[in-house]
Amino acid sequence: MNNPDPQPILEVQQISKYFGGLTALDKASLAVYPGEVVALLGDNGAGKSTLIKCISGVHKPDEGVIMFDGRDVGHAPPAAIREMGIETIYQDLALAENLDVGANVFLGKEVKKRLFGLLPVTDDDYMRTEAAKVLDRLDIHIPSLKQKLVSLSGGQRQAVAIARALYWDAKLVIMDEPTAALGVPEQRKVLALVKSLREQNIPVIIISHTMQDVMEVADRMIVMRRGKLVANLPRAEATVDLLVKHIIGATEIET
């Protein structure tokens, strides 16, 4: 066989998470492969956010193992997880609205230069130039990178958050409800960004309640219910009706 099966970049193996008497995750397992878009579906309280927070280092699993790029990361802190290449983009985006595009791409990692060879100041021109390069990779056009983020649209802000992840060599991007509260044109742009990441062989986990988005961009659908993974379907086998049945537990009633 000339092309051996690709190895998963992320493997979650039988992880459980308890909060007091509540079981938030119950022996959850999944794998994500390079260049794959995986949709994570489920009703509120299904365990999606807890799973994502375990992967990104916010929570530590009480049982099980999380392997990323061949390393056990189950108990690594969030900063170390990001350094390894897992970038999580939450709904609030964690951007600084009072700063421009370049400053946001370099947020927390600002590049300095010396004014008159003495006084250290941020090198805004360099950061904007670098930001422009990564935005070009995503085919994103923002009229002026000197604009403060507060003046940008929701889709453009998503683009800046994704550009930041890409610039800092993200190997896996997790997106939490990326199209929530966006208009239809902005939703289209965000979905195009997800496809762009896939084309660059960067896998994406996308949490969404919008079935139309999921059916358009995901290669695989994973459904969670009451802390368990109850379905893992390739796109070819998934229908909206079947996914909804898994989400509400109707398949359990049928069987």
Domain of 228, CATH number, reads 3.40.50.300
The reply to whether 3 falls in a domain is: no
- DSSP H or E stretch at residue 250: helix 250-254
| Structural Rg of the chain based on CA atoms | 19
HSE, CB side, 13 Å, CA atoms: give it for residue 174: 21
Q: Compute CA distances 200 → 31, 62, 169, 234, 250, whole Å.
A: 19, 34, 11, 21, 37
Read off φ and ψ for residue 198, nearest 5 degrees: -60, -40
> E-assigned strands of 58-196?
63-68, 71-72, 86-89, 112-115, 119-122, 172-176
The reply to whether 2 falls in a domain is: no
How many domains is the chain built from? 1
Strands across the sheet containing 22-32: 22-32, 10-19, 63-68, 71-72
The reply to whether 4 falls in a domain is: no
**Which residues lie below 8 Å from residue 116, measured CB to CB, with a gap of 6+?**
none
Cα 84 to Cα 170: distance, rounded to the nearest angstrom: 8
Cα 228 to Cα 250: distance, rounded to the nearest angstrom: 15
The reply to whether 5 falls in a domain is: no
Q: Do residues 190 and 178 make contact, with C-beta atoms less than 8 angstroms apart?
A: yes
Residue 180, judged by CB atoms within 10 A of its CB (0-12, 13-18, 19+), counts as middle
* Pairing label, strands 22-32, 71-72: unpaired
Q: Compute CA distances 26 → 10, 47, 77, 221, whole Å.
A: 18, 9, 22, 19
Cα 120 to Cα 113: distance, rounded to the nearest angstrom: 6
> E-assigned strands of 104-207?
112-115, 119-122, 172-176, 204-207
pLDDT 10s digit of each residue in the chain, 255 long? 344 468 999 999 999 999 998 999 999 999 999 999 999 999 988 999 999 999 999 999 999 999 999 999 999 999 999 999 999 988 777 889 999 999 999 988 888 988 877 788 889 999 999 999 999 888 888 889 999 999 998 888 888 988 988 898 899 999 998 888 788 888 888 898 899 999 999 999 999 888 888 999 999 999 999 999 999 999 999 999 999 999 998 876 554
Range of the domain at 206: 10-254
Q: Compute CA distances 41 → 64, 161, 212, 254, whole Å.
A: 21, 22, 12, 20
The reply to whether 237 falls in a domain is: yes
DSSP state for residue 105 in the 8-state scheme: H
The reply to whether 48 falls in a domain is: yes
